[in-house]
Amino acid sequence: MKLGIVGLPNVGKSTLFNSLTKAGAESANYPFCTIDPNIGIVTVPDERLKLLGDMYRSKKVTPAVIEFVDIAGLVKGASKGEGLGNQFLSNIREVDAIVHVVRCFEDSNVVHVDGSVDPLRDIETINLELIFSDLEVLERRISKVAKTARMDKTAARELGLLEQIKAHLEAGKPAKTMEVSDEEDLALLHSCNLLTGKPVIYAANVAEEDLSDDGGSNSGVAEVRKFAEEEHSEVFVICAQIEQEISELDEEEKAMFLEELGLAESGLEKLVKASYHLLGLMSFLTAGEDETRAWTIRIGTKAPQAAGKIHSDFERGFIKAEVVNYRDLLEQGSLAAAREKGLVGIEGKDYVVKDGDVILFRFNV
């Protein structure tokens, strides 16, 4: 899974990136301190892996990972060359979803590029810049397709849809709100790889005092939640500065610090939940002496395709899958004991994998 982090300068974007990835991206109180895109790989917290790894005494425990891409802060007029322009948006065209960091805290020591804190105005500024960037992409594609549209029916149909998408964007609406029912047209829309067609997770960045009630008393967070609900996006509340402090602690210290703050989970854990939910993802597990590992798949994936995540040969030569829920496996202490209790299912090609399934695939190539 790959997530792109966007936002205005000085909203806590790079601070959040630092805390999530411990990659040490520069963070300072002036606009555009991030120039080259920062990329960091983060392991997905999953207690099930540690428990299974301990049970099997696995030589290696491999969690699922998320790749984060942090680009320079955008400002109003970026598409026309203001600030650093939108030259870096191309770096997040390949992401699965966008994490939009929104400032919901007041701090006279941290300048705001527009002079005041207004979450909805800031969201609109970024969304418009994403739309302008998408329009540039569309205009290039329209220009290319128009050359053959007169002589080619397929190209003519594509041109018609591209013009519709362009009109939709020019009306200030993101691509994901465009209603397209025809499967061929939907595939074409997806092939444009538009930024405004991607799912969005809003990271409402608050002051420490607003963290304990998950931003409930913060009017800016309430506005962001309402906006996100209307466009079917996800929201999670963080204090990027606190997250950076948490990232420097070991697991025991981190648990104590979170408890002192009255928090059940870290910002990374909130973000993982939000992104998995938004993208319809889950994890199945494989476990053994050599390695215990989490594999990320889409909800609804069948056993052969899940096997293909491990290796294409597993999918091609799929015979069956031995499946046990991780809780049952831990309670019984071994796969053999779980088999004896009838807790291990022998599943075929139509089995739909469930979150937390521990699977042993049988295949023959």
Q: 152-199: per-residue pLDDT in tens?
A: 888 898 899 999 999 999 999 999 988 888 888 888 888 888 999 999
pLDDT at 87 > cutoff 80: no
Exposure string of 58-96, with b = 16+ CB inside 10 Å and e = fewer, is beebebbebbbbbbbbbbbebbeeebbbbebbebbeebb
Q: Is the four-CA dihedral 258, 262, 266, 269 of positive or negative sign?
A: positive
Two structure tokens written together for 226: 């309402």
pLDDT at 88 > cutoff 70: no
Going through the chain in order, the beta strands assigned E by DSSP cover 2-6, 38-43, 60-62, 65-70, 97-103, 200-205, 234-238, 281-286, 291-298, 318-325, 345-347, 357-363
Strand partners, 62: 293
Are residues 44 and 294 in contact, defined by beta-carbon separation less than 8 angstroms?
Answer: yes
Sheet containing strand 60-62, edge to edge, reads: 60-62, 291-298, 281-286, 357-363, 318-325, 345-347
* Separation of alpha carbons 91 and 133, rounded Å: 12
pLDDT the model gives residue 262: 84
- pLDDT (average), residues 252-275: 87
> Phi-psi bin for 363: left (phi > 0), alpha (psi -120 to 50), beta?
beta
Q: Alpha carbon of 313 to those of 186, 307, 319, 340, 362: distances in Å?
A: 31, 8, 11, 30, 11
pTM: 0.82
Taking only Cα atoms into account, the Rg of the chain, rounded to an integer number of angstroms, comes to 23
Are residues 343 and 357 in contact, defined by beta-carbon separation less than 8 angstroms?
Answer: no
- pLDDT (average), residues 11-39: 61
> Phi-psi bin for 150: left (phi > 0), alpha (psi -120 to 50), beta?
alpha
- At 209, the amino acid letter reads E
pLDDT the model gives residue 66: 86
* Separation of alpha carbons 117 and 119, rounded Å: 6
Contacts of 243 (CB under 8 A, 6+ apart): 15, 16, 19, 20, 266, 267, 268
Helix axes 13-21, 240-247, angle to 10 degrees: 20
* Separation of alpha carbons 236 and 83, rounded Å: 28
**pLDDT, greater one: 17 or 85:** 17
Exposure string of 296-316, with b = 16+ CB inside 10 Å and e = fewer, is bbeeebbbbbbbbbbeeebbe
φ, ψ for residue 364 (rounded to 5)? -150, 120
Q: Mean pLDDT of all residues in the chain?
A: 86
DSSP state of 344: -
Are residues 102 and 206 in contact, defined by beta-carbon separation less than 8 angstroms?
Answer: no
DSSP state of 343: -
Two structure tokens written together for 223: 């506005």
Residue with tokens 């500065």: 241
| Tens digits of residue pLDDT in 137-150 | 899 999 999 988 88
Confidence of residue 27 (pLDDT cuts 50, 70, 90): very low
Q: Tell me the three state secondary structure of residue 252.
A: helix
| Tens digits of residue pLDDT in 196-238 | 999 999 999 998 888 877 788 899 999 999 999 998 999 999 9
Q: Alpha carbon of 330 to those of 45, 54, 146, 285: distances in Å?
A: 18, 10, 61, 13
* Separation of alpha carbons 215 and 138, rounded Å: 38
Q: Tell me the three state secondary structure of residue 358.
A: strand
pLDDT the model gives residue 93: 83
